[in-house]
Amino acid sequence: MLRWQRLLGAWALPAGLREAAPEDPYRLPAGLLAEQPRSVGDPTGRPVEAHLPDGGTLLDVGCGPGARAALHAPRARVIGVEPRAELAAAARQAGLEVIEEPWPDAGARAPVADVVLCTHVLYDVADLVPFVAALTTHAREAVVVELGAVHPWARLAPLFARFHDLALPEGPTSDDAVEAIVDGLGVAVAQERWQHPGNRYPDLATLVAHRRRQLCLPASRDDEVAEALEGSYEVAADGTVTLEPREVVTLRWPGAA
């Protein structure tokens, strides 16, 4: 796990850059998160459905606006864990019961579930083993985790080099996460790599604004950011912007509740 912590720690933005940022570079509005593509038939949805009995319980840790977990709500009780107030409110509107507290602290209030789901959270977790151990002890049947094959900001490397002359780290990867989980929990982890559809934005201006925030730049640099993004997306007839697909990995291991 020390390797995971060291590699993840290298992703901290320089203090001066973060302090000078006009907006929070890590903020992503609930509406954008809710619109991203997901399905009960994709490689993350399928194992959830397979291990979730009718009338069972699904616990989604780091549920965001609740769009992923809500796919399973017609046949199960769905509970989300989300510490960010804006996202927790959106998850409640999506029909989830929500525990508004960080994990694993929320484990004291969260019930044991048939399946524990956690998508695109692990790259935010430095102390990985206690986090995934708490997922495991709350799951009767299975833990299902989705994460990018590489860090979610890896595709921003050319932009940080262009605007800040800053080289982003190359690790950690999903393989490093699996190594930490196997070593820390002593469990067998099944993996499935797949191409996740590209993230969607309602229009180009929204994509540019998001990338500009991540780059810690002011709105006056939007035109420069738009120029730097050329060729990295497709625009549909209705103006919707879709990024290129990215490789993600779905992990699955047995619960221990």
pLDDT at position 31: 76
pLDDT at position 2: 76
pLDDT at position 153: 95
Q: What is the pLDDT of residues 192-203, one digit of tens each?
A: 999 999 899 999
Q: Which stretch of DSSP H or E encloses residue 144?
A: strand 139-148
Q: Is the pLDDT of residue 1 over 70?
A: no
Tell me what the mean pLDDT of segment 12-26 comes to.
93
38: confidence class by pLDDT, cuts 50, 70, 90:
confident
Tell me what the mean pLDDT of segment 122-147 comes to.
98
Q: Is the pLDDT of residue 204 over 70?
A: yes
> Which of 25-34, 205-214, 223-232 shows the lowest mean pLDDT across its residues?
25-34
Q: What is the pLDDT of residues 54-103, one digit of tens each?
A: 999 999 999 999 999 999 999 999 999 999 999 999 999 999 999 999 99
Which architecture does CATH list for 2-154+166-197+246-254?
A: 3-Layer(aba) Sandwich (3.40)
Which position has the token pair 């996460």? Answer: 177
What is the pLDDT of the chain when averaged over all its residues?
A: 95
Residue 105 makes CB contacts below 8 A (sequence gap 6+) with: none
Q: What is the pLDDT of residues 152-171, one digit of tens each?
A: 999 999 999 999 999 999 89
Q: Vertex 94, ends 91 and 100: CA angle to 5°? A: 20
**Distances in Å between the alpha carbon of 33 and those of 11, 44, 173, 199, 219?**
22, 17, 22, 9, 22
pLDDT at position 36: 78
pLDDT at position 27: 86
Domain range list for the chain: 2-154+166-197+246-254
More confident residue, 102 or 37: 102
pLDDT at position 33: 74
